[in-house]
Amino acid sequence: MLDLKFLRENPEVVKQNIKNKFQERKLELVDEVIALDVERRTTQQEADQLRADRKKISKQIGGLMAQGKKDEAEEIKRQVTASSERLSELESKENELAEKINKIMMVIPNIIDESVPIGKDDSENVEVKRYGEPAVPDFEVPYHTDIMKRFCGIDLDSARKVAGNGFYYLMGDIARLHSAVISYARDYMIDRGFTYCIPPYMIRSDVVSGVMSFDEMESMMYKIEGEDLFLIGTSEHSMIGKYIDTILQEDSLPHALTSYSPCFRKEKGAHGIEERGVYRIHQFEKQEMIVVCKPEDSMAWFDKLWQNTVDLFRSLDIPVRTLECCSGDLADLKVKSIDVEAWSPRQKKYFEVGSCSNLGDAQARRLKIRAVGESGKFFAHTLNNTVVAPPRMLIAFLENNLNEDGSLNIPKALQPYMGNKEVINTID
């Protein structure tokens, strides 16, 4: 959420940012919120004046009563009563205007970084760099669930009976591989100085509205019926929510955390839930990283975060590339975002396996995450990034480590988490 003072003083900057994000329908909101803000401040000034006057008059009443001037005191009391009624009206109006302003400010997009490429949608995202040599083997690489079935590692039919499309049973060595990747990612991030955390898997509505836009919430979140609780779509939600309404000491920053959680997503409006595959699903597990830091440090942390994901995938012999998200592909709260994509030998192209985002102080403003130091009080900056998210990451792993005979190579870094196995063989 933008600073209202910034919008008031820089309306054309805010409007240009809206145009850069191809959200022209929101342009009128800038003028609307400015007009409401003028009305609110005028109302507040009148209310403040009445409060000051009432304080003075109250002292006069006491003096008149002490002098025995009861009639004059009673007349002033009537003035105070009329003033109180007017003040009550103004305070109600103040609250109403503040609520309207806040509602509009929640949908005006954050100011994107000047380095973000301008584009309408993800088709205009820009490749930054490739890491590792993408290879296509001489043999045909099967679809990922067909690979899993060779190891008796997946049961979609039973999952469909139990929960519907978008769910799965992982079994045997494939299930073990899934857990191994998560455990490896956890230790990998701990070794890089991040504090490990397991967060709540449900969050309240005030946290939901603090960490994401209304559009995202509608398309992603599952609501718990009858309770003010939502299932998390990513542990970033509850991890950033951990800091709601807190004042941090500046010298304690940054807070760098890595968290494990299951994730639950509607995938409403997405490209569809595949009956056959596990690329886009309603339930999955993820290792995440989040940072809460000083504003001047957030871009340096942004580069560290996406680099962590690149390094982890390369340690498992998976070629990846980074992709700069264009303006139209950024969610409203984001300042800048880079996707990490893994190479798919089967499709002969890259596909998304993680996303790194700098949200500036947008989440901090909504959740009142502040820091205090020698320079005074300020809103912290928040960032998040995917470490790994099986089973999507498993797709990349399976395709890039598959041998012609159907067996799977286990990279050296992962072998301790797989009982020191170097290869997994298919089950006849």
C-alpha distances (whole Å) from 300 to each of 231, 293, 297, 358 are 31, 10, 6, 10
**What integer pLDDT is reported at residue 267 of this predicted model?**
75
The string of pLDDT tens digits covering residues 360-371 is 999 999 999 999
Contacts of 48 (CB under 8 A, 6+ apart): none
Average pLDDT score, the chain: 92
**What integer pLDDT is reported at residue 52 of this predicted model?**
79
Distance (Å, whole) CA 319 – CA 401 = 11
**What integer pLDDT is reported at residue 7 of this predicted model?**
97
CATH architecture of structural domain 122-424: 2-Layer Sandwich (3.30)
User: Is it true that domain 4-105 has CATH number 1.10.287.40?
Assistant: yes
Of residues 321 and 53, more confidence is placed in: 321
pLDDT at 271 over 60: no
**What integer pLDDT is reported at residue 66 of this predicted model?**
59
- DSSP state letter for 404: T
pLDDT at 289 over 90: yes
The string of pLDDT tens digits covering residues 381-394 is 999 999 999 988 99
Please report, for the chain, the start and end positions of each structural domain, with discontinuous segments joined by +: 4-105, 122-424
pLDDT band at 63; cut points 50, 70, 90: low
Looking at the chain, the whole-number percentage of residues with pLDDT higher than 90 is 81
What's the predicted TM-score (pTM) here?
Answer: 0.89
DSSP-assigned beta bridge partners for residue 258: 196, 289
**What integer pLDDT is reported at residue 395 of this predicted model?**
95
The string of pLDDT tens digits covering residues 28-46 is 999 999 999 999 999 999 9
Distance (Å, whole) CA 112 – CA 105 = 16
Q: Answer yes or no: same fold for 4-105 and 122-424.
A: no
The string of pLDDT tens digits covering residues 197-229 is 999 999 999 999 999 877 777 778 999 999 999
Q: What is the per-residue DSSP string for 140-198?
A: PPPPHHHHHHHTT-EEHHHHHHHT-TT--EE-HHHHHHHHHHHHHHHHHHHHTTPEEE-
The string of pLDDT tens digits covering residues 100-134 is 999 999 999 999 999 999 999 999 999 999 999 99
Averaging pLDDT over each range in 18-22, 70-74, 270-274, which range is the top one?
18-22
**What integer pLDDT is reported at residue 364 of this predicted model?**
97
